[in-house]
Amino acid sequence: MNYRLTRRDFIQTTTVAAAAAAALPSALAQADKKITLALVGGAHIHTPGFIDLMKKRPDARVKSVWDHDAARAQKRAEALNSQVVDDVAKIWADPEIAAVVIFSETNRHHDLVLAAAKAGKHMFVEKPLGITAQESLEMASAIENANLLFTTGYFSRTDPKHLFLKAEIAQGHFGKITRVRGSNCHSGSLGGWFDTEWRWMADPKIASVGAFGDLGTHKLDILMWLFGDVDRVTADIKPVTGRYEGCDECGEGLIRFKSGITGTLAAGWVDVDDPVQLLISGTEGHAVVFDGQLYYKSAKVPGSDGKDPWMKLPSAPRAPLHQFLDAVAGAKDQPLVKPSEAAARVVAMEAMYKASREQKWVGVS
């Protein structure tokens, strides 16, 4: 078993998240009609994946690119065959641009999202939505009040294993669920992944979080997507190597869901392996995702003995950015992340950081 990722593997895996789904041709592609977008900020580690994805979308084009870093804006524009604008207001004022993809540093999201909402631009905003819970809730409200399409990069929702488990939970095949666990870890600090181009992601003043929040938000989203709202939390979040000053590198959270389920959440950049990525235990069923394979046992599902990988899984939906572009093009019922969901993850994560600092349980409202 060898789950250790290189930096290149991580970027390729996360930015194009469901590779097979992402490669599917758009059913909405039309040679004579293109979705016109703008890239607002190109700082995020997933930006190269967005650029690669756009090359697979003949029905979409990026007209304009803006970034507060002029050199970075030029680099992204050249890769997308787009024009650079020196003032983001030009994007908000351009009636041809229907939607924006915001890949800026997290501490710039608030101003950009509120401006995009005021301008009536649909938006894909990288996670986390905001640098604080309050800002995230303000953004969610602005997006929803403007009746705009929105999603974010919670690509784990497209994993067939997670889709299968969500359906099994809904059918009651676990009985009464008592405890759950999510883990999302890699060796980024050990490998110096954030030493150069992506250094801002290891600066909580800019990124809002360190390792625990960066990776933990993905598994927190899956836990909340599967098990509902959070009541209260506590956590232990800390640096390990000290490679990135002022930045946490790992953490473990304890979650009490409003349903009464107890959950744990692990995330960090100092792990050489992360074999147990999800676990669900109930009075009539048990599931564990081990080394990328689902092992499932339920008294209510014939053939589910938990001994061999469970292979009867649904097909993978398209990647979140594809879903967003399809929705902008007019496709109905796309499984987009709601702005309120994106904000709720920030609220819960902020509470875990507070709980860790103060060494106590913190309520999540």
Tokens of 68: 């507060």
pLDDT above 80 (res 16): no
Tell me how crowded residue 140 is: count the other CB atoms within 10 A of its CB. Answer: 22
The tens digit of pLDDT for each residue in 197-253 reads 999 999 999 999 999 999 999 999 999 999 999 999 999 999 999 999 999 999 999
- Rounded to 5°, angle at Cα 178 from 164 and 248: 85
CATH superfamily of 156-316+338-363: Dihydrodipicolinate Reductase; domain 2 (3.30.360.10)
What are the helix (H) ranges across the chain?
7-15, 19-22, 47-54, 70-80, 89-93, 109-119, 133-145, 160-170, 188-191, 204-207, 211-227, 320-329, 339-358
Beta-bridge mates of residue 102? 40, 125
Check whether 276 has a pLDDT greater than 70: yes
The pair of three-digit structure tokens given for residue 163, joined into one six-digit string: 């889709």
Which pTM does this prediction carry? 0.92
The predicted-structure confidence for 152-202, as pLDDT tens digits, reads as follows 999 999 999 999 999 999 999 999 999 999 999 999 999 999 999 999 999
Q: Mean pLDDT over all residues of the chain?
A: 93
130-140 pLDDT, tens per residue?
Answer: 999 999 999 99
The predicted pLDDT at position 26 comes to 45
Report whether pLDDT(334) > 60. yes
Angstrom distances, CA of residue 280 to CA of 182, 204, 227, 345:
9, 31, 10, 20
Domain ranges in the chain are 7-155, 156-316+338-363
Q: Which CATH number fits domain 7-155: 3.30.70.360, 1.10.3720.10, 3.40.30.10, 3.40.50.720?
A: 3.40.50.720
